[in-house]
Structure 1
Amino acid sequence: MNNFITETTHRLGESNAPILRNELFKLFINKNTKFIQLTITEYFDYQVHLIPGAECCLSGLEIFYYNSKIDPNVLVGLAKICKSIKKIEINFDSYENTDSHGIFKLIEVQKNLNEFYLTDAFNRLEPFYKYLEESLIKHADTIQYLKIDWSPNTRFLSYFVNLVYLEIEKSFFIKKYNPNNLKNILLPILKILKINRVPLIATVNLIESTTGNLSEISIHCDKALRDVGCKMLIQAIYQNCPNIRYLKLSFDIKLLIPEFKNLLINCQFLIGLIIHVRNDYNFRWNKLFQILAKSSPISLFKFKFYSKEFKLKDLKLFFDNWKNRRAMLLKIIYPSFKVDQQLVSLIEQYKAKGIIENYIFSIIDCGDDYENFKWI
């Protein structure tokens, strides 16, 4: 709406902007209309709560998205009339100073906050996140879905025993990360865990805090792992997550075949596996394919591989050894605009044999392109 008003006022004159904006808002916000979802984009500064009928219109709001570059008074005003929001999603896409009072006020007044997601392209100052953690703790009993884009300043996650979904992403700008803030916490019903650039020890601590209910794990390590680090991570997964169904591992590694074999043996409900080796020049894909063909549980049939170093003979051996198993769904993220036609031909041969049910090549991982490649 802001863009529409801006374009229109260029034609009608700036003096008419307030009148035009007031009339447009009256069309949408009145006592005869009720919204359950609201998105506020950057540089929005209109005091919506002051519009006649706004309380009736917005008091039942359940989903709220907003950009950090808005007038904080807008949030303060919304906090006066919107207390039933279940999902809040915030996007910090610049390093502009943020008046935090409105954010904290809006969070604190909610009665049944269930989902909170924050994406931060840049990292705020530490006091901001400390206060944010204190605000979120007040909703620890109701929040089940949580994404944090900062290094925890406290052990605040220990309060969130009802979490079902947890995503933690460490900003590139964070140099210090205290793994003890993620140690010895309890996440008894957590099902989905996504970790991006969080240090190894903190990642292992998180996995060990679960009680066997994790069904999906996605781990993107912050730097190359030594063998001992890789071993520790894989052990933590198969020792604590026997019911895992979907697993994504993304890092620079020389895969520890014995430990990966133990993972496959101990995780008998695994359905989908994603392996992303960012620098796979010396990666032993042949060893991985051998262990997959030999030790995969019968449930495993979905594969997604990121690579530019596949050898046809390794894939051929993998497919040959997969016969008499459930036909696989295969997705290859291939960082080249021109896919090797020999590779395509090889896969087509095994699709004709029924060893591969379906496959897809993609230059980048833009999600699951077809219905039968969806992971969940």
Structure 2
Amino acid sequence: MLYYPLYKYPRANISLSNLYELNCDIKEKTFYFYHELAQICRSIEKIRINIYKVRNDEFDEIVELIEMQKQIKYISILDERNERLLDENDKCNRIIQSLEKHVNSINYIDVIMNTSSLHFSFSKLINLQFLKILNKKMYEISENFEKYIMKASYYKLQILDLQSIPLHIVIKIIQNTNGNLYKIKIRYPDCDQAKEYNRTIHKYCPNIKYVTIFLNRSNTLKELKNILIKCQHLEAIDMDEYIEHKYLNKFLDLLIKLAPLTLYKIHIHNEFENFNIKSLKLFFNNWNLMSKKTLHLYYHNNHNNDWFEFIENHKIKGVIGYKYHDNDFWNYEQDVL
């Protein structure tokens, strides 16, 4: 394969010197591409790194490229490598460590990787507004990661999106914020501290608009009641687990009695057959009578349109049924920080 250095392309220095955004795929040999780019670019603010193979030379070049930038604001890392090929000296850690130079400018972090690679001083991220972590090893958390992330303060954090992170860590992160959180999405936690999590929402998140909540445990309904009373900007409730039968009618009653007028989105896992049909129709009718917003009901239903058909067949007004999709429900496209 013929190799032609980047700097030999006509006007490469001029064309690339103001490069603002870059997607990096560590997959095939790049012939010093990122090293050469590092000699030209200084203005990259958004960088996405997709790691598919263990290629240490490319890691070194990416580290150099990151360190040569003036201020990186947006960092996304997707690690798709086979865990069996990694060792304790994995150079992906160097990419994380190279971000230390940019701790004052980073406001957006989105990573899909093992927490063992996230040895990072979160406490230095004084301007962090968006934090998304998908832990590839479900419920397995490295001690260093837990230490770093739980000791940090997140005074400017607005959006928190965590998957396979234990709830005691989630709770601590929320407690270390400054009341600016308006979206909290949680997936696949251990739910031993569901009550404590719900309580943390209404104590520390007065401006919350979109939030995952948990029922099915002792006193969680009581804390949901407090969320509905205290969080008056609430627009969307996300429930990513089946609600046990004994909680269903109580859940509907709380929504009718206490839901703020701003609430209009609800995501539930249950199919409509799980509910008492009479109670469900009464809930929808009461929702309209209370002059609340049109209800957008999101449901996980991959095989049929039962919820949609129920709404249509019973001629229920003021309710629109949707199949659940992350971007649609959470409106992430509006969160340009």
TM-score using structure 1 length: 0.76
Q: Using a 3 Å threshold, how does the CA distance of structure 1 residues 301 and 89 change in structure 2: closer, same or farther?
A: same
Q: 2:205·2:231 contact (CA, 8 Å) conserved in 1? A: yes
SS at structure 2 position matched to 1:138: helix
Which residue of the partner structure matches residue 169 of structure 2? 202
Q: Does 1:325 align with 2:291?
A: yes
Q: 1:35-87 CA distances to partner (integer Å, 9 max, x unpaired)?
A: xxxxxxxxxx8643442321111111001012121435211111111110010
- Asked if structure 1 preserves the Cα contact closer than 8 Å seen for 2:26 and 2:55, the reply is no
Alignment-derived partner of residue 69 in structure 2: 110
Please say if 1:306 is aligned against 2:269: yes
Equivalent residue runs for 1:188-199 within 5 Å: 188-199=155-166
* Cα deviations by residue, 1:221-264 (Å, 9 ceiling, x for unpaired): 334x23xx101111122111111111134x78447211111111
Residue aligning to 2:106: 143
| Separation in 1, partners of 2:166, 2:138 | 14
Do residues 61 (structure 1) and 19 (structure 2) align?
yes
In the aligned structure 2, how far is the partner of 1:330 from the partner of 1:50?
56
Q: Is 1:163 aligned to residue 128 of structure 2?
A: yes
Q: Give the RMSD, CA atoms, in angstroms.
A: 2.9
| 2:60 equivalent in structure 1 | 101
CA contact (8 A) 1:133 1:156 kept: no
Residue 81 to residue 350, structure 1, CA distance change in 2 (3 Å): same
Matched, 1:360 2:326: no
In structure 1, give the amino acid aligned to 2:174.
I
Q: Assess, with a 3 A threshold, how the Cα gap between structure 1 residues 342 and 360 changes in structure 2: closer, same or farther.
A: closer
Conserved? CA contact 1:149–1:168, under 8 Å: yes
Distance 2:333 2:19 in 1: 31
8 Å contact from structure 2 (residues 42, 70) kept in 1: yes
- Superposed, 1:342-361 pairs within 5 Å as 343-345=310-312, 349-351=315-317, 355-356=318-319, 359-361=320-322
| 1:212 matches 2:175 | no
Match of 1:275 in 2: 239
Secondary structure of the 1:141 match is coil
C-alpha distance in 1 between matches for 2:87 and 2:104: 27
- Distance in 1 (alpha carbons) for counterparts of 2:72 and 2:14: 20
Sort the Cα spacing of 1:172 and 1:216 in 2 relative to 1 into closer, same or farther, 3 A.
Answer: same
Cα pair 2:261 2:293 within 8 Å, conserved:
no
What does the per-residue CA deviation read over 1:133-167, in whole Å, with 9 as the maximum and x for residues that have no partner? 32111101111111123416445111001011111
**In 1, Cα distance between the equivalents of 2:36 and 2:278?**
65
Instruction: Give secondary structure in 2 for the equivalent of 1:149.
Output: strand
TM-score with structure 2 length normalisation? 0.84
Contact 2:171 2:197 (C-alpha < 8 Å) held by counterparts: yes
* In 2, Cα distance between equivalents of 1:284 and 1:291: 11
Give the aligned length.
Answer: 319
Q: 1:344 to 1:70 in 2, by over 3 A?
A: same
Q: Alignment partner of 1:194: what SS?
A: strand
Tell me if the contact between 2:235 and 2:264 (Cα under 8 Å) persists in the aligned partners: yes
Question: In the alignment, residue 361 of structure 1 is paired with which amino acid?
Answer: Y
Q: Are residue 246 (structure 1) and residue 210 (structure 2) matched? A: yes
Cα distance in 1 for partners of 2:120, 2:19 equals 31
Q: Determine helix, strand or coil for the equivalent of 2:39.
A: helix
Relative to structure 1, the CA distance from residue 60 to residue 211 in structure 2 (aligned partners, 3 Å threshold; closer, same or farther) is same
Q: Which moved more, 1:327-336 or 1:113-122?
A: 327-336
Aligned twin of 1:291: 254
In the TM superposition, what whole-angstrom CA distance separates every residue of 1:317-346 from its partner, at most 9, and x where no partner exists? 321332223232313324243223751335
Alignment CA distance shift 1:161-1:349 (3 Å): same
Task: Indicate the residue corresponding to 1:85 in structure 2.
Answer: 44
Q: CA deviation at 1:374?
A: 8.4
Q: Residue 221 of structure 1 corresponds to which residue in structure 2?
A: 188
Report SS of the residue matched to 1:332.
strand
Q: Tell me the equivalent position of 2:149.
A: 182
> Quick one: distance in 2 between partners of 1:138 and 1:252?
42
8 Å contact from structure 1 (residues 285, 314) kept in 2:
no
Percent identity of equivalent pairs? 27
- Secondary structure in structure 2 of the residue aligned to 1:321: helix
Letter in 2 for 1:324: M
Residue 339 (structure 1) aligns with: 305
